Amino acid sequence: MRRRWRSTLIAVAAAAALAVAAASAGAQPAARISDGVVKIGLILDMSGPYAETAGLGNATAARMAVEDFGGRVLGAPIEVVVADHKNRPDRALNIARDWFDKEHVDAIMDVSGSSEGLIVQRIAETRDKIVMLSSAIAERLSNEACTPTSVHYAFTTGALARTIGGALLARGDDTWFFITVDYSFGYDLEHDTEAVVEAGGGQVLDGALHPLGASDFTSYLARAQQSGAKVIGLANAGADLSNTIKTAAQLGMIPGPQVFAGLAMRINQVHALGLQTTQGMMLSDGFYWDANDATRAWSRRFFKRFKGMPNDLQAGVYSATTHYLQAIAHAGTDATEAVMKAMRAAPIDDFFAHDGHIRADGVMVHDMHLYQVKTPSESHYPWDYLKLVATIPGEVAYGSLAQSKCPLVRP
């Protein structure tokens, strides 16, 4: 990476260190079901730039999973609590600390945002609590910052990079320009994709950083266009990604000679922006609602409640919540060590992932897919937006465990 962004990482790391220092030492012995109830929480962006892709929809998916499980496990009721961290790591930390110390929350099923995810999984480790992450995707969460009580479930920035970066490079799209949001998620997404491109003989010509919640993307896109890069990689998400795409379409860059790769683009944004604006864009996904009969059946149930088709984050939260509850039932307790052991031992085979498994570094390995957004003439019914370009096996998309920097798997 060539641009200045380390100050943000240092601030997040410092906050995490303070959280660990303030943590109470030692975990209390767990009962069969501690406190007589299994309480799970989600710390999400319910009102900011990621609310559309990882807010109410994620909470809806978790509640659906609990209802489908029967609302009880080992005879104990299951409760779901949701909080808005307002895209502030310090607020996410305080919510998690309060939940663990005062509200008796047993596990967190998702955290929106990688900076928030980093600090929440760290405080959870000090309380011996489980964190499942679907919408915090920076690879460092299950790499350098991995913990024994966290699971990186839906996908990682590395998986996105290997899927979309590798596939585009293979077809000759070998020069890139990045437009990147200025915090840990954006850095990791750009860095991981850059590594894939350069390892395959491609070249990153340049890039531009923008603040979270930027209001104008014209100058960043002008630089990308002037660079002559074959691919413009958008390493941002939520409202920032949508506004980048809208501006590119207004400037006549979509459709155009340069390929736009929405590295963290979700189907919600395709729907909101329309095919006329997003046509031809490339994106990577582990789940698409219209992939097969099983995905369609669950997605139509979700649609009735949410009034929109699910993205892979929401499907991931449902699958992760179900896997966690199944592990409690199998272990006969909600004690963290026993549940983590059960989750690692059991394969994940549902509408979200086939032959998935949780590795020692906490990564849930499953196949990833490269999709291209259809043109308006190619779409034949509502939400018929994506066409499959390639399927990347999980072992390729997530890399080998031997490449991991996770301290849990290094000698």
Closest of 148, 235, 229 to residue 189, by C-alpha? 235
Ramachandran sector of residue 366 (left: φ over 0; alpha: ψ -120 to 50; beta: rest): beta
Instruction: Provide the pLDDT confidence category of residue 411 given band limits of 50, 70 and 90.
Output: low
The yes-or-no verdict on residue 188 having pLDDT over 90 is no
| Amino acid at residue number 201 | G
pLDDT of residue 49: 83
User: How far is residue 130's CA from residue 324's CA, in Å, rounded to a whole number?
Assistant: 9
The yes-or-no verdict on residue 3 having pLDDT over 70 is no
ω before 257 within 30° of 0 (cis)? no
Question: How, if at all, do strands 76-84 and 38-44 pair?
Answer: parallel
pLDDT of residue 397: 95
pLDDT of residue 320: 98
Range with the poorest average pLDDT among 1-10, 369-378, 391-400: 1-10
DSSP state of 346: S
pLDDT of residue 80: 98
Tokens of 64: 């659906």
pLDDT of residue 22: 41
The pLDDT tens digits of the residues spanning 132-144 come to: 999 999 899 999 9
The yes-or-no verdict on residue 156 having pLDDT over 60 is yes
Helices (H) and strands (E) in the chain, counts: 16, 15
- Tell me if 234 sits within 8 A of 260, measured CB to CB: yes
Question: How, if at all, do strands 231-235 and 175-181 pair?
Answer: parallel
Strands (E) across 163-316 are located at: 175-181, 203-210, 231-235, 259-262, 282-285
Fold topology of 6-155+298-366: Rossmann fold (3.40.50)
Which H or E element spans position 84?
strand 76-84
What's the pTM? 0.88
The pLDDT tens digits of the residues spanning 264-322 come to: 899 999 999 999 999 999 999 999 999 999 999 999 999 999 999 999 999 999 999 99
Tokens of 215: 């209001």
| Amino acid at residue number 379 | S
Give the residue-averaged pLDDT of 5-20. 42
Closest of 362, 367, 341 to residue 405, by C-alpha? 362
Give the residue-averaged pLDDT of 243-248. 97
CATH of 158-285+368-397, one of 3.40.50.720, 3.40.50.2300, 2.60.40.10, 3.40.50.2000: 3.40.50.2300
Domains of the chain by residue range: 6-155+298-366, 158-285+368-397
Query: By three-state DSSP, how is residue 242 classified?
Result: helix
Give the residue-averaged pLDDT of 92-105. 97
How many percent of the chain have pLDDT more than 90? 84
Closest of 187, 192, 190 to residue 177, by C-alpha? 190
| Amino acid at residue number 300 | R
- Please state, in angstroms and as integers, the Cα–Cα distance from residue 182 to each residue in 70, 197, 214, following that order: 42, 21, 10
Instruction: Provide the pLDDT confidence category of residue 56 given band limits of 50, 70 and 90.
Output: very high
pLDDT of residue 217: 98
Beta bridge partners of 177: 206, 232
- Fold agreement (6-155+298-366, 158-285+368-397): yes
pLDDT of residue 10: 38
pLDDT, averaged across the chain: 91
pLDDT of residue 178: 98
How many percent of the chain have pLDDT more than 70? 92
pLDDT of residue 31: 44
The pLDDT tens digits of the residues spanning 320-357 come to: 999 999 999 999 999 999 999 999 999 999 999 999 99
